[in-house]
Chains A and B, each alone.
Chain A
């Protein structure tokens, strides 16, 4: 009844797996992604919409998908005939992240930073659905922005440079942590790292303000720049924070965020 010898590469979807148990999945995309299929291979679309096509129909081992929370869905990729590069187990966004060249990995991370920055800080349609917007969070972007801000503020400080640097860095990191905890404790549904990532990316406008303030020393110009970028930062954080918490608690979640940006704004302004 069950042809266990000829089963296709299974992604993480439960339905696909159950289907595959009873018949060979025909080479028809199930809507989320397509890839060319050869006569004896099958194209499946993986949950994230990226297609994986095995080179041949191998004996495939049944997989188990762990439920929600911390889960490790496992789908084995085809074990090809002899003399091939090592294949990988596990859910692979592309078939070969284990054996890809280093430059690919680096490029992927850099592109991710740019994409995340654009999604968080600049107006774009995916802001309507914040949960989806920062699906691919990363902490490298925030890391660079915090370091840049601390460096800028420290270099424009006339004395106590070391203290300024350490204080800015500590305040920003601790602030991001505490704000995230605040949202979580208010009953918000946001991933810890996603929130850290958003708060970090929203420092980008403040970075710009700090760099511009390095150049001008006119008090009014600096105030204007800081005000504009503060508004920009708050606008950037707003959808992420507000959709995460229940509506009654929106203000409670947003107020500390604005407070933090205002205090950083003062730091930037007061730096002489």
Chain B
């Protein structure tokens, strides 16, 4: 059964579902409807749903990461990252994480391919759809990679600090005893 071994089978399903549907619809759109408007709207809706799901749901559940952008008081744009602490990270299933990362990278690759095909076919209309897909997928990939880097740095920082804070009283005791 394909769903064994996943800690969050429903989230994993949705993570892949919208991406897969968007790609499938793009490929089969001509057989389903003859109107470009329908193709565009359905594809873009699926892509937007996928973007929201990955950013807000599957990122959290499958790899414990979250990113977003805020404007602070000075009007500067600040990227915020959230990640689970070490204990919770270790509870995450590696199969979930593998599915997460491979799905978003594979999806971007597929849309780039479609983009090349659309350029070769001289169809600017479909290039519009592909452009949107690449922007949305790319945004998620960049966000999550940055977030993962940040999470790793934080964990390392924590490990160092924990070590320091454990050693300091011991050193104090050495000198005061």
Chain A positions near chain B (C-beta within 8 angstroms): 4-5, 47, 59, 61-62, 64, 68-74, 76, 79, 86-92, 97-99, 102, 105-106, 109, 131, 134-137, 140, 143, 147, 151, 154, 161-162, 165-166, 169-170, 189-194
Measured in the bound complex, the distance between the Cα atoms of B65 and A89 in whole Å is 10
Provide the residues of chain B in CB contact with A147, threshold 8 Å. Answer: 41, 44
Provide the residues of chain A in CB contact with B79, threshold 8 Å. Answer: 70-72
Query: Once the chains bind, are A47 and B158 in contact (CB under 8 Å)?
Result: no
Provide the residues of chain A in CB contact with B162, threshold 8 Å. Answer: 61
Chain B positions near chain A (C-beta within 8 angstroms): 35-37, 40-41, 44, 48, 52, 56-57, 60, 64, 66, 69-85, 87-88, 91, 124-125, 128, 150-151, 154, 157-158, 161-162, 165, 168
List 28 A-B pairs, Cβ < 8 Å: A5-B165, A47-B73, A61-B162, A61-B165, A62-B161, A70-B77, A72-B80, A72-B150, A79-B85, A87-B84, A88-B82, A88-B84, A88-B85, A99-B60, A106-B56, A131-B71, A137-B71, A140-B52, A147-B41, A151-B41, A161-B36, A162-B35, A162-B125, A166-B36, A166-B40, A169-B40, A191-B71, A193-B69
Query: Once the chains bind, are B76 and A69 in contact (CB under 8 Å)?
Result: yes
Provide the residues of chain B in CB contact with A68, threshold 8 Å. Answer: 74, 76
Distance between A88 CB and nearest chain B CB, rounded to angstroms: 5
Known contacts A61-B158, A90-B80, A98-B82; A165 and B75 CB within 8 A of each other:
no
- 6 additional A-B pairs beyond A89-B84, A151-B41, A162-B35, beta carbons within 8 Å, are A61-B158, A109-B56, A137-B71, A165-B36, A191-B71, A191-B77
Known contacts A72-B150, A89-B82, A151-B41; A143 and B75 CB within 8 A of each other:
no
Distance between A101 CB and nearest chain B CB, rounded to angstroms: 10
Known contacts A72-B150, A151-B37; A166 and B82 CB within 8 A of each other:
no
Distance between A55 CB and nearest chain B CB, rounded to angstroms: 15
Query: Once the chains bind, are B125 and A166 in contact (CB under 8 Å)?
Result: yes
Provide the residues of chain A in CB contact with B56, threshold 8 Å. Answer: 102, 105-106, 109
Provide the residues of chain A in CB contact with B44, threshold 8 Å. Answer: 147
Provide the residues of chain A in CB contact with B78, threshold 8 Å. Answer: 70-73
Query: Once the chains bind, are A165 and B81 in contact (CB under 8 Å)?
Result: no
Query: Once the chains bind, are B158 and A76 in contact (CB under 8 Å)?
Result: yes
Provide the residues of chain B in CB contact with A131, threshold 8 Å. Answer: 71, 75
> Which residue in chain B gives the minimum CB-CB distance to A104?
B56
| A-B complex: 10 closest residue pairs judged by Cβ atoms | A86-B88, A162-B36, A90-B82, A61-B161, A165-B37, A105-B56, A86-B84, A191-B77, A135-B71, A166-B125
Distance between B96 CB and nearest chain A CB, rounded to angstroms: 14
Query: Once the chains bind, are B66 and A143 in contact (CB under 8 Å)?
Result: no
